[in-house]
Amino acid sequence: MRGDAVRAYHDAVPHRSRFRHLTSAIRSPVGHRIDFPPDGYREDSVSTDLSAASGVEVGESLLVVGAGTVGRWIADVLDVADTAFCDTDSATARTAADATGGRVVDIDSEERFDVVAIAVPISVATEAIAAHAPKADRAVFDVTGTMREPLTVMAEHAPDVECVSLHPLFAPERAPGTVAMVAENGNDVSDGNGGDDGRSADEGNGVETDGDREGENGNESVAAGIEAALRAAGNEPFVTTAEEHDRAMVTVQARTHAAVLAFSLAAEPVDERFHTPVSGALSEIVARITDGTPRTYAEIQAVFDGSDDVAAAAAHLAEADSEEFERLYREASAGEGP
């Protein structure tokens, strides 16, 4: 099975995404390069059965729209032989291409690709999808952070190819990690648990499994290839639905970020010796969040709107008498919040 080959490769080379500056490589029939580091793994120490490579088949050409850190991350993970970048900032596209061994195409180019990846800010995702999804021959996917709207726009502008949405639940510099995944018009995407959750990947994912959705010559779908490549790079993709993902992000991202930032804004500087385990840990989380890009966090709030819920909860606590406060405390400890 291809999946077994991919897992065997992953076990042998668990940090593939870090091996960019390498000297030896093999290429699969579809152009997916597998590299080996010069100081440990040799071709005779890792199986070079090309079934491992074909198990992570995505396509022979990839266009990455958006050449920031997320675009470079997904290009590195998929490692397609012909990878091109386009960006509104041509210098950023050139930097990404140089870093990943790819090339640059003009943002208005009409060149077609097997797969098109959209890795732009949420606020311009639909515009980018509308402009570039029609260039895809096999699949289009986004890595923007929201799912329902991008999938809807992909289906509108690329109705005859697979539509996939990914959300790495970590910053690229902290890879690998967990990746939420939704595929529509594809097939053979697992749930990561061998169906142990009591539903098939198709039931949990809205995936169509018509035979004509398989790749050429009966190959697995592009979605399955993306999933396999993510696993080979050490990530843990899991199947969800767009609705489930977007609902979860209200709490996981918007409310969480709002609560942490509100604490930071309300807090006063204190001698570190006064910190409790709780306040110290929360201060570390503040430092981690505020090390990011303000625009990204602002866009998350604009889309998922968690700050109002946090403000309402804080106001409820502030106005509560002792009895009500104790009730709210018990409610919070029981995990009965939103």
Segments of the chain with pLDDT less than 50:
1-55, 186-213, 215-218
Cα 56 to Cα 230: distance, rounded to the nearest angstrom: 9
47, two tokens: 């199986």
Burial class (CB in 10 A: 0-12, 13-18, 19+), 16: buried
- Supply the pTM of this predicted model: 0.75
The 3-state secondary structure of 70-123, one letter per residue: HHHHHHHHHCECEEEEECCCHHHHHHHHHHHCCEECCCCCCCCEEEEEECCCHH
Q: What is the pLDDT of residue 50?
A: 29
The token pair at 188 is 């053979």
**pLDDT given for residue 334 in this prediction:** 82
- Report the b/e string of 300-314 with b at 16+ CB within 10 A: bbebbebbebbeebe
For residue 67, what pLDDT is reported?
97
Dihedral sign of CA atoms 20, 135, 179, 231 in order = negative
Give the pLDDT confidence score for residue 27 in this predicted structure: 31
Cα–Cα distance, 250 to 181 (Å, whole number): 17
C-alpha distance from residue 123 to each of 10, 72, 173, 228, 297 (Å): 35, 19, 22, 29, 12
Q: Three-class SS of residue 295?
A: helix
Which residues are bridge partners to 161 per DSSP?
Answer: none
Cβ neighbours, 10 Å, residue 27: 12
CA distances in angstroms from 251 to 243, 264, 301, 338, listed in the order given:
13, 18, 11, 8
Phi, psi (degrees; rounded to nearest 5) at 319: -90, -10
CA neighbor of 168 nearest in space, from 80, 78, 81, 52? 78
Residue 181: beta bridge partners? 166, 239
- In angstroms, the CA 75 to CA 64 distance is 7
Q: Which fold does the domain 2-240 belong to in CATH? A: Rossmann fold (3.40.50)
- What pLDDT was estimated at residue 196? 36
Measured between alpha carbons, how far is 323 from 64 in angstroms, rounded to an integer? 56
The CA distance from 208 to 215, in Å, is 13
Task: Give the per-residue pLDDT at 120.
Answer: 97
Number of residues in the chain: 338
- Determine the Cα angle at 240 with ends 137 and 136, to 5°: 10
Of the candidates 139, 175, 186, 197, the one whose C-alpha atom is nearest the C-alpha of residue 15 is: 175
